A = this chain, B = another copy of it.
Amino acid sequence: MADTLTATALTLKDIAREAGVSLATVDRVLHNRPGVRPDTVRRVKAAIERNAFQPHVAAAELARSRARRFAFVMPAGPNPFMQQIEAYLGEMSAWLSARRLGVEMVATDVFDPSVLAASLETLSGDYDGVAVVALDHPGVRAAINDLVDAGTRVVTLVSDVPSSRRHHYVGIDNIAAGRTAGALVGRLVGQRSGKVAIVAGSQGLRDHSERIFGFSQVMASEFPDLSVLPVLEGRDEDGRSEQVLARLLGRHADIVGLYNVGAGTQGVAKALSDAGRGKQVVFVGHDVTALTRRLLLQGVMDAAISQNPGHEARAAVRVLLALARGEPILREQEKIRIDIVMRDNLP
């Protein structure tokens, strides 16, 4: 009836006794310090395994006096999504200080590889962990690898650099996000046939191009009655997005679906409304902000694909902390889901 999940509370001393060695030797093994015969290492590790021993995290944390410092390298300038991440980190401040963790924001131009790489290089040695919104570029990859080699824990945030040796990626699978957007547009358009427009920031951005790829894949394979128009580039700016979309709407009267891949949502919505086609066109975009929330409630947007920024911020901190402590990562917990947000499940 009452089924217990946790082990008994052994201490290092118990492990030492079990392995027939002294506390000092267990300590050496536990921290990979030199001067222990391979055979002894094995005996100690066996004792640890056998008892499923976990060092008491509170005791370990207390003993190592030194506070941990993490850096968050984020885009400079006004990006609502990034501001949300920063805000959620702010909400954690009591949590952080109760654990004597220091989190510092470093603003930089993440779109310029050399600037970003240089920013990363300056962090070396000063921090126990770094979270970075990274551009996928050889220079950046090298900078990340240097940090890792210097013993800093690195997680990529929102945008990944899979070819680097970063310890973890906190963000969504953008191809799947694009596929989800495609399925939604296709299903919500229903029986109608017609054309589908795509507005992106730039196809040079990895996350945008991956989303477009996934979207197109689904449209081609599952919704043959819908034809996808060439991708418009709005550079994530409202004005330009509005302009290019307005022109396209003028030329095609049979547009039934619209996928906005990045930002510039305000402009996209305005072009739709001005053309008087807000209700006929199925409009799917990304992220839940004050604006998209309003558009969803008004029925202008039909769905938003979202990655929970609060979750991303907290997951990044937790992952960095677990890495620094040598604790296992709860993969399931730290995985960022692709949220489908419609009017009735607005968070």
Contacts and interface: CB of A to CB of B under 8 A. Distances in A.
Interface string A89-107: 1111111111111111111
Copies in the complex: 2
A190 to B, nearest CB: 3
A32 interface: no
In terms of DSSP, what is the predominant structure of the interface of chain A? mixed
Contact of A332 (B88, B93, B99, B345): B88
Given A59-B62, A179-B344, A182-B344, 12 more contacts: A5-B93, A5-B102, A6-B103, A7-B93, A55-B98, A94-B327, A98-B327, A187-B302, A190-B191, A310-B332, A339-B345, A340-B342
Interface string A315-347: 000000000000110101101011111111101
A80 to B, nearest CB: 17
A104 B4 contact: yes
A29 B180 CA distance: 54
A314 interface: yes
A5 B100 CA distance: 11
A52 interface: yes
Chain A interface size band reads 35 or more
A217 B247 CA distance: 40
A183 interface: yes
A107 B89 CA distance: 38
B337 A5 contact: no
